Structure 1
Amino acid sequence: MLLLQDGMTWLLNSPDQSLAFILADAGFDVWIGNTRGTRFSRKHVSLDASRPEYWNWSWDELAAYDLPATFDFVYRQTGQQIDYVGHSMGTLVALASLSQGQIANLKSVALLSPVAYLSHMNTAIGVIAAQAFVGEITTFFGLSEFNPKEKTIINFLHTLCANPNIDCYDLMSSFTGKNCCLNASTVDVFLRNEPQSTSTKTMVHLAQTVRDGVLSKFDYGGDFNVQHYGQRRPPVYNLTNIPKDLPIFISYGGKDALADVQDVLLLLDSLKLHDGDKLQVQFVKDFAHADFIMGVTAKEIVYNALVAFFKRQ
């Protein structure tokens, strides 16, 4: 599950450099998930993606329904417990779901560029966009679908690009930090396929996470929170509830502007009581956000360690 991306992102490099192929070659049965709203996941039993009702969800629903349903589906097909790999948004959803005990049939978890807290995010375009979403663009001109290829969103991005701190000639670095190890042709393929749609509500929810410094459910505002949750503040996801004996592999980067080192350390602090032999943490000094999923050196630096971790469980 990746924000504004679909499962193709795991397959952009050559087979010997893409994690999905590497896991398959190592003997794993690989399933790639697509977040709802992206091009491979726009159907619904009763709702149409052209209607606002379809887009009435944030990443709360991904954590509460989509990820558990994915695990259930894969388990029913294979009968085997699952090793999960998440990057960025895929780690946020997994952590939230795990903290509420909503995932079954899980063997181990790998979190690459883990996102739980975003209060130290230092990418200029991310900070400015978060301020916009929390403020006057909460309803975002009435749009329920956030489609980066739609004219209104393009105009919004152009407005952000007017800020002198933002280099819109290198949008990827503006969002992720300066990646060290991307192949130019891979980036070209990425930009031809991505970004994909998500719900505007998800973007607002992420902006709330940046602003509030806590990992909580969607904030509808005082009285509306009472209607939704029975309390004036949205419930907090308590990451200390994650089972302490769950094997977890975490890899994070020193140049990551989204999963900032200080925010990752906050996450690790919430896991400080985790069983010592069940938590493996890797710090890659030169990696930024996209290096973990598209970097040409990710296999040697990250994936080999990840595969070994899975095989030990």
Structure 2
Amino acid sequence: MGVRKLLRFLWVISVVLLIEAFSGSGSVRLKSVAMNPPPLGICASSVRKHGYKCEEVDVTTEDGYILSVQRIPVGRGGAVGGGRKRQPVLLQHGVLVDGMTWLLNPPEQSLALILADNGYDVWIANTRGTSFSRRHVSLDPDRPEFWDWTWDEIVSRDLPAVIAFISQQTSQKIHYVGHSLGTLIALASLSEGKQLDKLKSAALLSPIAYLSHMTTALGVLAAKVFVGEITIVFGLAEFNPKGEDVSRFLKGLCSDPKVDCYDLMSALTGKNCCLNASTVDVFLRNEPQSTSTKNLVHLAQTVRDGVLAKYDYGNPAFNMEHYGQPRPPIYNISNIPRNFPLFMSYGGQDALSDPKDVATLLDDLKLHEEGKLSVQYIKDYAHADFIMGVTAKDVVYDKIISFFRRNQ
């Protein structure tokens, strides 16, 4: 691959996979992303100020990553539920963001607080590499070794550790809510028969499994370009959207007259119908978050190959070393037990979780038992509306609560 072509690809993939980091209004400027996250922790900055109890918890994975988890055990003022045991719900965010994304709107519009007020014991995950989970028992986050992982490890390490901890603390099965990458890791885990003994149901917002129909020229271009050289050539272990390397990629892309950086997210995620400017401002004070470059390569492989598979090490010999076979193993969605309760909500304007790709996912689940798969299609919603939309409470969240109550 020529240097010029590789550089252009890096610019493209930087933007395509910054989707969740910039999901917002049509007037996002690059300089907005330089703002730092709140120093106090998520409980202090976004939960307790609204009158809710909140606990900060550390969970350590088998491979030594120390994950920040927040617990909102009761509603505001202890409302709803009295002294009964509350059902735990785990909220899992997407790529390049953290658990703060569930708390961006006022309490009446934020899913985490709505669930707490409706009698649930709410737990918020923060995956490895994000601001409050940038810790390890021995590895330094300033060293490349800390960033040697992809979403495979989130599936096999982060998710099990957090779920096991919640299960131990509550002695109950857990409802799960994921958005975007948070849906992919749930689908991958369930397809391998994991966590079924601890999960009661899963609600998946903007579900990601297949990415072949992204309705953006940038996404299509990224899908066609070989991605394995990124870490080898440039040695970018940490993908820091606020760092100089990524900033240069974005500036280079924005110098192309065909790219409108003032309406970049509408072009990439679809036109979000229901965000307000104050929510986007709060979002940009905390996001985007770092992830590993290897993780983004893995996501790009999913786009390129059209299948949901483990990380491809680039040649049959390396794959044989890791998997005992020349190609990475596939996550077979049709293996998810047919009686496991699933709720899926997707939008007609979502350029990332495109309705055609969601249709492919639903085809994998066509043998699901009647009444165990609930599907909601929202014509006007795009990618960010599901977690930041001011109408999401009435349109989506009430449906999730009804789904949970049917599957108590």
Displacement of 1:261 after TM fit? 0.5
| 1:212-269 Cα distance to aligned partner (Å, 9 max, x none) | 0000000002211111111111110001111111110000000001100110000000
| 1:70-128 Cα distance to aligned partner (Å, 9 max, x none) | 11011111111100000000000110111112213100100000000011112344444
Letter in 2 for 1:156: F
Per the alignment, residue 195 of structure 1 pairs with 288
Displacement of 1:191 after TM fit? 1.3
2:273 counterpart of 1:180: yes
**CA 1:127–1:198 in structure 2 vs 1: closer, same or farther (change >3 Å)?**
farther
Per the alignment, residue 57 of structure 1 pairs with 149
**CA 1:211–1:132 in structure 2 vs 1: closer, same or farther (change >3 Å)?**
closer
How many residues end up aligned between the 2 structures? 313
Quote the Cα distance in structure 2 between the aligned partners of 1:236 and 1:162: 39
Letter in 1 for 2:351: A
Letter in 2 for 1:311: R
Q: Residues 152-171 of structure 1: matches in 2 within 5 Å?
A: 152-171=245-264
Per the alignment, residue 102 of structure 1 pairs with 194
- Secondary structure class of the residue paired with 1:169: coil
Letter in 1 for 2:334: T
- Secondary structure class of the residue paired with 2:371: helix
Conserved? CA contact 1:125–1:160, under 8 Å: no
Letter in 2 for 1:196: Q
Per the alignment, residue 43 of structure 1 pairs with 135
Quote the Cα distance in structure 2 between the aligned partners of 1:140 and 1:116: 28
**CA 1:99–1:140 in structure 2 vs 1: closer, same or farther (change >3 Å)?**
farther
| The one of 317, 324, 334 aligned to 1:223 | 317
- Sequence identity of aligned pairs in percent? 68
- Secondary structure class of the residue paired with 2:178: strand
Displacement of 1:167 after TM fit? 2.0
Letter in 1 for 2:189: S
Letter in 2 for 1:263: D
Displacement of 1:154 after TM fit? 0.8
Quote the Cα distance in structure 1 between the aligned partners of 2:152 and 2:169: 26
- Secondary structure class of the residue paired with 1:224: helix
Per the alignment, residue 367 of structure 2 pairs with 273
Displacement of 1:161 after TM fit? 2.4
Quote the Cα distance in structure 1 between the aligned partners of 2:256 and 2:303: 19
Letter in 2 for 1:152: D
Quote the Cα distance in structure 1 between the aligned partners of 2:341 and 2:329: 26
| 1:30-52 Cα distance to aligned partner (Å, 9 max, x none) | 00000110001111112111110
Per the alignment, residue 116 of structure 1 pairs with 209
| 1:18-69 Cα distance to aligned partner (Å, 9 max, x none) | 1001101110000000011000111111211111001000000101111111
Quote the Cα distance in structure 2 between the aligned partners of 1:174 and 1:253: 15
Between 1 and 2, higher relative CO (CA 8 Å, sep ≥ 6) is seen in 1
| The one of 194, 205, 209 aligned to 2:302 | 209
Letter in 2 for 1:12: L
Quote the Cα distance in structure 2 between the aligned partners of 1:23 and 1:302: 12
Per the alignment, residue 399 of structure 2 pairs with 305
Normalized against structure 1, the TM-score is what? 0.96
Q: What is the aligned-residue RMSD (CA, Å)?
A: 1.5
Quote the Cα distance in structure 2 between the aligned partners of 1:243 and 1:102: 11
The structure with more radius of gyration: 2
Letter in 1 for 2:135: K
Task: Give structure 1 stretches of 5+ with no counterpart.
Answer: none
Conserved? CA contact 1:130–1:206, under 8 Å: no
| 1:115-169 Cα distance to aligned partner (Å, 9 max, x none) | 0001111234444455567265353611100000000011112222234443211
Quote the Cα distance in structure 1 between the aligned partners of 2:311 and 2:255: 30
Q: Residues 109-148 of structure 1: matches in 2 within 5 Å?
A: 109-130=202-223, 134=227, 136-139=229-232, 141-148=234-241
Normalized against structure 2, the TM-score is what? 0.74
Conserved? CA contact 1:82–1:106, under 8 Å: yes
Quote the Cα distance in structure 2 between the aligned partners of 1:26 and 1:133: 47
**CA 1:187–1:126 in structure 2 vs 1: closer, same or farther (change >3 Å)?**
farther
Displacement of 1:180 after TM fit? 0.5
Per the alignment, residue 251 of structure 1 pairs with 345
Task: Give structure 2 stretches of 5+ with no counterpart.
Answer: 1-92
